[in-house]
């Protein structure tokens, strides 16, 4: 049942998939856990008052999970021009100028994809908040695990943003990306921590 193809590719010496792809994969796993809690809850009389919201959340989580899985390949594609730029010759002023121009262009995609991964992970955490509070208590630990995994994915993806904005000549663009990253980290991290603490308290 376990598909190890992605994990084996991640462990290889190939440059992709890397941290960005792993972040998206972890976010997809977190989404799957939240979906499981929703699916286990739907149809039970005890939770009839939240069933409509849970069904909507499961649909949204399915879409988010599919998007996160697509971002694994998107992250790899964004890395290709970045790697090519770093490999360009830099022996003359003209070559250095051409190399830097290619690099600056490639850095945009290399930042925007992990930011998209982060945004998806925040959506997953928001769903984890709801299913932890209103989903089946039999799956409460799974809701907490989903929040923790999504937070880890959020933080991991942020590192790709950090490393790439550090090479940007466009300070204004770098600041925009940094602010987006920090906002996502702050919002998602706080929510995930609250879910974890609440789950531990209720399970103890």
Contact 178, 161 (CB under 8 A): yes
Contact 174, 129 (CB under 8 A): no
pTM for this predicted structure: 0.95
Length of the chain (residues): 204
Contact 110, 82 (CB under 8 A): yes
Which residues touch 75 (CB under 8 Å, ≥6 apart)?
Answer: 16, 17, 18, 20, 21, 24, 113, 114, 117, 160
pLDDT for 34: 98
Contact 164, 105 (CB under 8 A): no
Q: State how far the Cα of 65 lies from the Cα of 101, in Å rounded to an integer.
A: 35
pLDDT for 2: 77
Q: How far is CA 9 from the centre of its chain?
A: 19
pLDDT for 170: 97
Contact 158, 181 (CB under 8 A): yes
Task: List, for the chain, all residue ranges whose pLDDT scores fall below the cut of 50.
Answer: none
pLDDT for 1: 78
3-state secondary structure of 136: coil
pLDDT in tens, 71-119: 999 999 999 999 999 999 999 999 999 999 999 999 999 999 999 999 9
pLDDT for 135: 96
Contact 138, 106 (CB under 8 A): no
Contact 161, 177 (CB under 8 A): yes
pLDDT for 3: 79
Q: State how far the Cα of 136 lies from the Cα of 83, in Å rounded to an integer.
A: 46
pLDDT for 188: 98
């Amino acid at each position: 049942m376990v598909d190890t193809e992605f994990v084996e590719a991640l462990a290889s010496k190939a440059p992709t998939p890397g941290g960005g792809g792993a972040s998206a994969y972890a976010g997809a796993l977190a989404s799957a856990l939240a979906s499981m809690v929703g699916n286990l809850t739907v149809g039970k009389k005890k939770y009839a008052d939240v069933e409509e919201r849970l069904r909507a959340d499961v649909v949204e989580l399915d879409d988010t999970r599919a998007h996160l899985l697509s971002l694994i390949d998107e992250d790899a594609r964004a890395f290709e021009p970045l790697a090519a730029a770093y490999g360009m010759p830099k022996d003359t002023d003209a070559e250095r100028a051409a190399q830097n121009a290619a690099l600056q262009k490639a850095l945009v995609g290399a930042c925007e994809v992990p930011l998209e991964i982060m945004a998806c992970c925040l959506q997953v955490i928001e769903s984890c908040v709801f299913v932890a509070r209103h989903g089946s208590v039999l799956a409460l630990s799974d809701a907490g695990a989903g929040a923790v995994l999504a937070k880890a994915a959020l933080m991991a993806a942020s590192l790709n943003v950090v490393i790439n904005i550090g090479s940007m000549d466009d300070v204004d663009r770098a600041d925009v990306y940094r602010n987006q990253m920090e906002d996502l980290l702050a919002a998602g991290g706080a929510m995930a921590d609250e879910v974890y603490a609440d789950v531990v308290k209720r399970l103890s």
